[in-house]
Amino acid sequence: MNFPSGLFGDAWAWAAWLPLAGIWLWCLRTGPWRRLREDGQFNIWLGAVVVLMLMWSLKAGVQPGLNLHLLGVTTVTLMFGRQLAVVALSLALAAVTLNGGAGWQAYALNALVMAVLPGFLAFAILRLTERWLPANFFIYVFVAGFFGAAVTAVATGLAGTALLAAAGVYPFETLLAEYFPYFLLLGFSEAWLNGAALTLMVVYFPHWVGTFDDRRYLWNK
């Protein structure tokens, strides 16, 4: 959604840096960074950052500060896990911000809403899928990928709507009527995009998707 500078007060902008810094530190300390050294994974990770940057640069505006764009977060999270995904998403957001697509003053708020929240939610949906549903290829693609992407997009929109309302940027009724409904439509696009991307990768490039295990989803099926 790419909040621009000046949309929130300084108190909101600075307060967001404390949780974001803590999450970054956790990601840097616990992330599976060794995986990026394996078989060109670092180049794939950087490629994901570039793709995200391009996706987030293409946006549609409803009103000033109310922008919409595809996220692609679920795919990146299932490829690399929470920690590496959050870092990749933060780098993509920094590139978009540097290019003028968002504001530095609102960078921490943007990162919490567009990187941290959807990244953690997409990973939580994967873990719930692994725990409660059968280990099946189609379950992985359609529930963790397709359905998970839709839920993540809608939840991100809801979080952005709540944040804008809490900060007094727009009245809550206006946001519910003119902003949040678009995320319900965006959820379908997000689901198809991530579902298709994951299907192609697990079929042709399964080593790109770190959370996909051949032995769990394909062997003896």
Cβ–Cβ contacts within 10 Å for residue 39, how many? 10
Tell me: the pLDDT tens digits for 169-218? 899 999 998 899 999 999 999 999 999 999 999 999 999 999 998 888 87
Give Cα 102 distance to the centre of its chain: 16
Q: How far apart are the first and last CA of the chain?
A: 41
The correct CATH number of 10-217 out of 1.10.3720.10, 1.20.120.160, 3.40.50.800, 1.10.1760.20 is 1.10.1760.20
For the packed helices 148-166 and 180-204, what is the interaxial angle rounded to 10 degrees? 150
Per-residue pLDDT of 81-122, as tens digits, reads 999 999 999 999 999 999 887 889 999 999 999 999 999 999
Q: Let me know: does 103 contact 97? Beta carbons within 8 Å.
A: yes
Checking if the pLDDT of 221 tops 60, the result is no
Q: Which residues, 6 or more positions from 127, have their beta carbon under 8 angstroms from its beta carbon?
A: none
What's the pTM value of the predicted model, to 2 decimals?
Answer: 0.94
Query: pLDDT tens across 32-44, in order?
Result: 999 898 878 999 9
Residue with tokens 């298709």: 196
What are 93-102's pLDDT values in tens digits? 999 999 887 8
Q: Which residues contact 167 (CB under 8 A, 6 or more apart)?
A: 7, 8, 9, 12
Do the Cβ atoms of 15 and 105 come closer than 8 Å?
no
Average confidence (pLDDT) over 137-151: 95
The pair phi, psi for residue 61, each rounded to 5°, is -105, 135
Which structure tokens are listed for 208?
A: 């790109």
pLDDT for 1 equals 74
Residue listed under structure tokens 């009103």: 63
CA dist 192 → 133, 179, 188 (Å): 21, 21, 6
